[in-house]
Amino acid sequence: MNLNRTPIAVSEAVRRVISGLSKLPVETIPYTESYGRILARDLEASMDVPRFNKSAMDGFAIRAKDSEGASGENRVSFEVVAEVPAGATSRYELSEGEAFRIMTGASIPESADAVVMFEQTRQDERSFSIRKPFTSGENIARQGEECRSGDVIVPAGTLINPGTVAALATFGYKEIEVRKQPVVGILATGSELVDIDVPLEAGKIRNSNGPMVRSQLQRMNIEARMYALEADDFDTLLQRVKQMLNEVDAVITTGGVSVGDYDHLPKLYESLGAKELFNKVGMRPGSVTTVSMLGSKPMFGLSGNPSACYTGFELFARPALLKMMGHDRIFAPVLDAVLDGDFKKANPFTRFIRAEIDYREGLIYASPAGFNKSNAVTSIAKSNGIIVLPGGTRGYEKGDAIKVMMTDMTSGIDHFDI
Ligand SMILES: Nc1nc2c(c(=O)[nH]1)N[C@H]1C(S)=C(S)[C@@H](COP(=O)(O)OP(=O)(O)OC[C@H]3O[C@@H](n4cnc5c(N)ncnc54)[C@H](O)[C@@H]3O)O[C@H]1N2
Ligand code: MOO
Ligand SMILES: [Mg+2]
């Protein structure tokens, strides 16, 4: 057992994790299942949008030149010759003083070039009059004004959002090439752990890391493969991890990475012939997080302490998996914020504190989410971000300028701010 581990900086640890990873292969899926996946090819417009000149308003399509000279004193009248609802068009050639009754979204007939809104007219049975001249193109959405056939709408490497799905539907892409999702195996280790439905005997606790990590993966749209809890037995763990390496693209274990008599994971990676990227990081919690690579497969040895496990996942596993998924924005945003509570304890390591983030008058406030030791579990439940405090000799006070890592961009605020 190597007791003298040398901590490396968090930024260096992140760099090491992501630098050795390559993108997973491409697969074709129905566009209806593409939300949350990563585009593997540029999404190009297959046609102009709008595809044809269309009415932007409900009203009448006219020849603009026929409206010349119209004013309050000199109203110009038109006769309605045909109707053009959305989904239709007309080949009729307008003569002077003739108009189509036309609805929003309908194709503008060739012979018309402006649309008068109903509200801009005085109407009779089959005719109407206007009090102002119209210019060619008025109230018309022109063909190609939004984009042209061949334009790149969304580049490869982008997360598919609802708007991307709308674009796929618009351009008729029933199938789409995306990067494969990694198959991620989760193995919680520890002889003290039991599953949720097993009675707690002396010295036992429930496994919370396994379900938590699975949810962290779900938050990234990744379905995890759960392996049964394992006790701290080297040979069994070795067999299990070998099996996982045959079945998954990335292995996540929790527990057993420190220097205890039954902390087998570092030695286990070594006996697999894996390349250890680091086994100690200058951070709290999660200092003993150990990451190794076997070929192209990362193995994340997350700490058993729940807060350390959570933090290790967000800092290392998340960007690594996003890189494998072909995402080109793999990091959670780190934003300037105001500390909304004291955090007096100094520490030489970079501190990551589970935090409640709030937004008031355009500012981001972050307060520690409760009991904040490495072994805390309940503070994770209250957090929607992580406060980042650089290591050093001083503590921090309410009102200090700090940074927060946004781990949960979907959590909202309790007031409407417009
Ligand atoms: N002599 C030293 N001891 C420790 C050091 C050190 O540097 N020198 N580091 C401490 C730090 S920091 C941490 S963090 C922990 C890391 O421990 P391990 O990653 O080896 O994890 P375990 O020993 O297996 O468990 C630690 C703790 O977490 C609980 N645990 C484990 N798995 C789960 C789970 N799935 N769900 C809920 N809770 C879990 C476990 O019962 C322990 O209480 O080591 C320190 N020691
Ligand atoms: O790895 Mo421990 O979480 O630094 O407290
Ligand atoms: Mg341990």
42-64 confidence digits (pLDDT tens): 999 999 999 999 999 999 999 99
pLDDT band at 345 (very low <50, low <70, confident <90, very high): confident
Cβ neighbours around 156 below 10 Å, total: 17
**Does residue 344 register a pLDDT over 90?**
no
Q: Ligand 1 in contact with 195 (CB < 6 A)?
A: no
Q: What's the CA-to-centroid distance between 163 and ligand 2, angstroms? A: 41
Which of 209, 257, 281, 284 best tests ligand 2's pocket when mutated (most atoms within 8 Å of CB)?
284
What's the mean pLDDT in 7-17?
Answer: 97
Angle, alpha carbons 364-370-374 (nearest 5°): 110
Handedness of CA 108, 111, 116, 118 (dihedral sign): negative
Q: What's the CA-to-centroid distance between 412 and ligand 2, angstroms? A: 30
Q: Ligand 1 in contact with 230 (CB < 6 A)?
A: no
Q: What's the CA-to-centroid distance between 154 and ligand 3, angstroms? A: 46
pLDDT band at 372 (very low <50, low <70, confident <90, very high): confident
Q: Which atom of ligand 2 is nearest to the CA of 289?
A: 1
Encoded tokens for 321: 């998996």
CATH 3.40.980.10 residue ranges of the chain are 10-24+181-324
Q: Ligand 1 in contact with 289 (CB < 6 A)?
A: no
Residue-level pLDDT at 312: 98
Q: Ligand 2 in contact with 130 (CB < 6 A)?
A: no
Residue-level pLDDT at 371: 87
What gap in Å lies between CA 133 and CA 247, rounded to an integer? 71
Maximum separation of any 2 CA atoms in the chain, in Å: 98
Q: Which atom of ligand 1 is nearest to the CA of 256?
A: 20
φ, ψ at 95 (rounded to 5°): -100, 175
Q: Ligand 1 in contact with 188 (CB < 6 A)?
A: yes
Residue-level pLDDT at 416: 82
**Does residue 2 register a pLDDT over 80?**
no
Cβ neighbours around 375 below 10 Å, total: 12
Q: What is the CATH T-level fold of the domain 54-141, as seen in this structure?
A: Molybdopterin biosynthesis moeA protein; domain 3 (2.170.190)
pLDDT band at 4 (very low <50, low <70, confident <90, very high): confident
Beta partners for 368?
355
- What percentage of the chain reaches a pLDDT higher than 90? 90
Kindly give, in sequence order, each residue whose CB lies less than 8 Å from that of residue 119, ignoring residues fewer than 6 positions away. Answer: none
Indicate the residue type of 187. Answer: L
CATH 2.170.190.11 residue ranges of the chain are 54-141
Q: Ligand 1 in contact with 347 (CB < 6 A)?
A: no
Q: Ligand 2 in contact with 306 (CB < 6 A)?
A: no
Q: Ligand 1 in contact with 301 (CB < 6 A)?
A: no
71-92 residue pLDDT tens: 999 999 999 999 999 999 899 9
Q: Which residue do the tokens 């072994």 mark?
A: 375
97-155 residue pLDDT tens: 999 999 999 999 999 999 999 999 999 999 999 999 999 999 999 999 999 999 999 99
Residue-level pLDDT at 405: 97
Q: Ligand 2 in contact with 254 (CB < 6 A)?
A: no
Question: CATH for 334-406, among 3.60.15.10, 3.40.50.10490, 3.40.50.300, 2.40.340.10?
Answer: 2.40.340.10
**Does residue 393 register a pLDDT over 90?**
no
Can you give the three-state secondary structure of the chain, one letter per residue?
A: CCCCCCCECHHHHHHHHHHCCCCCCEEEEEHHHCCCCEECCCEECCCCECCCCEECCCEEEECHHHHCCCCCCCCEEEEEEEEECCCCCCCCCCCCCEEEEECCCCECCCCCCEEEEHHHEEECCCEEEECCCCCCCCCEECCCCCECCCCEEECCCCECCHHHHHHHHHCCCCEEEEECCCCEEEEEECCCEECCCCCCCCCCEECCHHHHHHHHHHHCCCCEEECCCECCCHHHHHHHHHHHHHHCCEEEEECCCCCCCCCCHHHHHHHHCCEEEECCECEECCCCCEEEEECCEEEEEECCCHHHHHHHHHHHHHHHHHHHCCCCCCCCCEEEEEECCCECCCECCEEEEEEEEEEECCEEEEEECCCCCCCCCHHHHCCCEEEEECCECCCECCCCEEEEECCCCCCCCCCCCC
Q: Ligand 1 in contact with 373 (CB < 6 A)?
A: no
Q: Ligand 2 in contact with 351 (CB < 6 A)?
A: no
| Mean pLDDT over each residue of the chain, to the nearest integer | 96
Looking at per-residue confidence, does 361 or 151 come out higher? Answer: 151
Q: Ligand 2 in contact with 303 (CB < 6 A)?
A: yes
Q: What is the CATH number of domain 28-47+157-179?
A: 3.90.105.10
Q: What's the CA-to-centroid distance between 255 and ligand 1, angstroms? A: 6
**Exposure string over 67-105, b if 16+ CB within 10 A, otherwise e:** beebeeeeebebebbbebeeeebbeeebeeebbbbbbbe
HSE of 16, CA atoms in CB hemisphere, 13 A: 19
Q: Which atom of ligand 1 is nearest to the CA of 301?
A: 19
What's the mean pLDDT in 17-42?
Answer: 97
Q: Which residue's alpha carbon is nearest to atom 8 within ligand 1?
A: 259
Ligand nearest to the CA of 211: 1
Cβ neighbours around 179 below 10 Å, total: 20
Residue-level pLDDT at 33: 97
Which of 259, 305, 310, 345 best tests ligand 2's pocket when mutated (most atoms within 8 Å of CB)?
305
Residue-level pLDDT at 316: 98
pTM: 0.93
Q: Which residue do the tokens 């693209």 mark?
A: 249
Q: Ligand 2 in contact with 179 (CB < 6 A)?
A: no
pLDDT band at 1 (very low <50, low <70, confident <90, very high): low
Tell me the C-alpha to C-alpha distance, in Å, between residue 248 and each of 41, 225, 297: 25, 8, 8
- What percentage of the chain reaches a pLDDT higher than 70? 99
Beta partners for 77?
129
pLDDT band at 245 (very low <50, low <70, confident <90, very high): very high
CATH class of 10-24+181-324: alpha beta
Residue-level pLDDT at 68: 97
Encoded tokens for 153: 């709408």
Residue-level pLDDT at 149: 98
What gap in Å lies between CA 298 and CA 281, rounded to an integer? 17
What's the mean pLDDT in 11-18?
Answer: 98
Residue-level pLDDT at 169: 98
**Does residue 292 register a pLDDT over 60?**
yes
Q: What's the CA-to-centroid distance between 72 and ligand 2, angstroms? A: 79
